[in-house]
Amino acid sequence: MDVARFKENFRVDRSTFQKLCEKVNNIGKMDSNMRRCIPLEKRVAIALFSLGSAAEYRSDSLADCIDAYPPHPQELKIIVEGLKMMGFPQCFGAVDGCHIEVQPKKDEAVDYYNYKGWYSVILLASCDHRSKFTYINIGSTGRNNDSYIFERSSLKHFHEHAGIFKQNNQAIEGINVPVLLIGDSAFRLSRHMMKPYPYVANQTPVEKLYNYRLSKCRRVIANAFGQLKARFR
């Protein structure tokens, strides 16, 4: 790479890159009888590229690993049936956000300061009944809320415009319901996003049951984040 492209991809110049490699020299590996090791410089470059890339997954090579949109008809049927068995019909996934702590530059810090009182970027994701990620969006600054990110995401665009979600409508209690997503109370209610009824002291049994079933199915995204954090502490 030339100098400009190197810095664009790894966010540091070559001299800084070499200093980083020297600092972490102790993580270098040796070739074994089974295979050649990944060179230290390559490992550092991969880490820097990952840390410096803030985008939806479809802008990089993860697209072929997480490729649920638009879904194949058979896969859509499997996911909808799986979440129906858990208690929520016509649902393709649960959506939520997860804050990831960062140390931003001083002049940018205000954008990363979240409601919890620390600095972060946000991972917005959806997953199916197996807690398998079907969509990820990483890099929005911590001051934004989940609904703000969702409203501007390709995830919302897919559910509004992809024909497969409308083609698989189902009549429930006289209402024609498309295949949709579920989220917590932070999200904006729409035909493509269901959320809980607001809490009130004398909530009706029907509303309580609805909230219970939605909450039960939303646990899959909390489980997905839990597994991710356990793997990458």
Identify the weakest region by mean pLDDT among 20-29, 125-134, 192-201.
20-29
Are the C-beta atoms of residues 150 and 122 closer than 8 Å to each other? no
Residue 42: count of CB within 10 angstroms of its CB: 10
How sure is the predictor about 231, in pLDDT bands with cuts at 50, 70 and 90? confident
Helices (H), the chain: 3-10, 14-23, 40-52, 73-86, 109-112, 146-151, 154-161, 163-167, 205-231
How sure is the predictor about 87, in pLDDT bands with cuts at 50, 70 and 90? very high
Does 144 lie in the same domain as 46? no
Please report, rounded to a whole number, the percentage of residues in the chain having pLDDT higher than 90: 61
Displacement of CA 209 from its chain's centroid (Å)? 28
- Global confidence as pTM: 0.71
Tell me which H or E stretch contains 181.
Answer: strand 180-182
Does 43 lie in the same domain as 87? no
Does 208 lie in the same domain as 154? yes
Does 44 lie in the same domain as 62? no
How far the first Cα of the chain sits from its last, in Å, is: 32
Does 220 lie in the same domain as 163? yes
Does 66 lie in the same domain as 30? no
pLDDT value for 123: 94
Taking Cα atoms as reference points, which of 202, 192, 216 lies closest to residue 84?
Answer: 216
Provide the domain limits for residue 43: 3-52
**Cα(56)–Cα(140) distance, integer angstroms:** 10
Does 123 lie in the same domain as 71? yes
pLDDT above 80: residue 138? yes
Residue with tokens 């090579």: 61
